[in-house]
Amino acid sequence: MSVGVIVLGAGKGTRMRSDTAKVLHEACGRTLLAWVLGTVEHLDVERSIVVVGHQAESVTATLPPGVDGVVQEPQNGTGHAVRVALDGFGSLPETIVVLPGDMPLITGEAVSSLISHHRAAGASATIMSVELDDPTGYGRIVRDGDAVSRIVEEGDATEDERSIAEVNTSVYVFRTGALVEALDQITIDNVQGEYYLTDVIEILDARGDRVTAMTVAPELGIGVNTHAQLAQVSDVLRRRITSQLLDSGVWMLDPQRVYIDATVTIEPTAKLYPDVYLTGSTTVAAGASIGPNVEARDTVIGAGAVVKQAVMMDALIGRDALVGPFAYLRPGAVLEDGSKVGTYVEVKGSTVGAGSKVPHLSYIGDTTIGENTNIGAGTITVNYDGYVKHKTTIGDRVRIGSDTMLVAPVIVGDDALTGAGSVITHDVPEG
């Protein structure tokens, strides 16, 4: 039985008070929309369509290959959005799954179970529901025995209906033919003056179609409408990420104080200490020790490396390298195997060769340092003349004395030595 997916991503997210489209807000390194699309990656889906509206071009630009965007204009409610999406399918699949684009905690397993429940029940529509202690603001599931008779929105609910704890998550599975027929009957006779997708449920029930609901854990149904809810789902996702890493063999002293994007890769036996932030495409190899107090973005950290109290962006840390405490590695910093960048050292666009050391109080910019070289405390590469940045090259086994100024462009040859306090303005020959 063929399955198509519709993701509703047209909303502005007014309560976010943000210039960014709601579904493009990020949680643990992925947009809300990307999390939702990830739930159907491993399902047998014929086609996925995202309904876009607010900032349509920006949202469409983030869609992965194989996922299409259709524009809802004007935005006349969720029922209208689904109708627009159905027009984009061409040949309609037999089953339609509808997902909100702002519900990142939903899992592929839950969606798969909902589809199975729907098919087993022989239903025209199946709703994913949750039970909440405080259902305020959510559409209530009104039942007639085991069947669902309708969904009533908060603004249209009676006092008795507002007391219902079971609420709609806005995740549905429909028999496509029944959905199309019911959409033709919905009206804008409601508080918002919009076409509610929820009205389809009452229409199907009234004509005798079977409508069911499957209840899931409450956290799966959390949608994001405010920054408080964004923080809430981010916390849940972060706990999922750390739990998976712990199970894989990553050691953490205090998992509640480690922040890891879903896009980060960490190998078993790596160690993470408190207040570590790993984001972007960062990778941490086996046996590396990170933290405390480390921020790494888009950085590769080699096996056995030790990093303490450091900020690193677009850097490459080799095997058994040492970083910190209080080091700053800017984009293009490369530390080869066994090298060291120590206390209060900033490295930008530079390579520190294997076994070389920059132990403390230095700025290394646009520089290549060879192997087994030592850079004395207070060394500065003077790489900018006010117009252009110039390159410094330091060879193998060089000893740069403390408080040396290397005025680029300049080359220091292999085995050379500079005295403390030197100002190097010309090339230094091999020693």
- CA–CA gap between residue 324 and residue 134 (Å, rounded): 48
Locate 308 and state its tokens: 């303490």
Supply the residues annotated as catalytic: 360
Contact 42, 61 (CB under 8 A): no
Paired sense of beta strands 340-348 and 271-272, if any: unpaired
- The torsion angles phi and psi of 107, rounded to 5 degrees, stand at -110, 160
* Measured CA angle at 178 (ends 176, 182), to 5 deg: 115
Structure tokens at 269: 């036996």
Q: How far is Cα 258 from Cα 278, in angstroms, rounded to an integer?
A: 8
Do residues 261 and 278 make contact, with C-beta atoms less than 8 angstroms apart?
yes
Residues in contact with 362: Cβ distance below 8 Å, sequence separation at least 6, in sequence order: 344, 345, 346, 375, 377, 378, 379, 380
Q: Phi and psi (nearest 5°) for 50?
A: -105, 125
The percent helix, strand, coil of the chain (3-state, each to 5) is 25, 35, 45
